Amino acid sequence: MKRFLTNLSVLLLLVTFSYCQKNGSNGQQYRFNGSMNVDERTRTYLLNLPPHYYDNDSASFALVLGLHGGGGSAAQFEKDYHFTDKANAAGFIALYPNGIQSNGPLGLRTWNAGTCCDAAMEQNVDDVKFIRELID
């Protein structure tokens, strides 16, 4: 999976956006909270488009995924690592998928990365499929 994500470059990303959190000076939407269904489970993500995304229809942009650690979230990753600032400065699309949330008292989010990872592992969640469909 690491190799797959490392070698990823996407020319065009088509997703359905459910919520815009910030607008550019020209009224265009740049940051979205989104969701999609994968294996009968609602999966969520954040998406940030660089400031010049809408300026040129023929421009291509790299897509970089930010995967939070165990117990984190898409919003936490974006905030703690200032990744959207980096994406905007460098002109790439930043996509932050969320792991699944456990039903425990802390509601921690995890990925199915083997025996380490609580709810995602126990429920045999297919995170690779989620990310693949999200990119598509």
Residue 25 predicted with pLDDT over 70: no
pLDDT in tens, 61-114: 999 999 999 999 999 999 999 999 999 999 999 999 999 999 888 889 999 988
Question: Are 93 and 87 contacting, i.e. CB atoms less than 8 angstroms apart?
Answer: yes
Lowest mean pLDDT among 3-12, 36-45, 68-77, 119-128: 3-12
Residue 2 predicted with pLDDT over 70: no
Return the domain boundaries, the chain. Answer: 2-135
pLDDT at residue 90, as a whole number: 95
pLDDT at residue 133, as a whole number: 97
pTM: 0.77
Distance CA 57, CA 11 (A): 12
Determine whether 12 is exposed, middle or buried from the number of CB atoms within 10 Å of its CB (0-12, 13-18, 19+): exposed
Mean pLDDT of the chain: 82
pLDDT band at 18 (very low <50, low <70, confident <90, very high): very low
Residue 27 predicted with pLDDT over 70: no
Distance of CA 99 to the CA centre of its chain: 10
Higher pLDDT, 117 or 88: 88
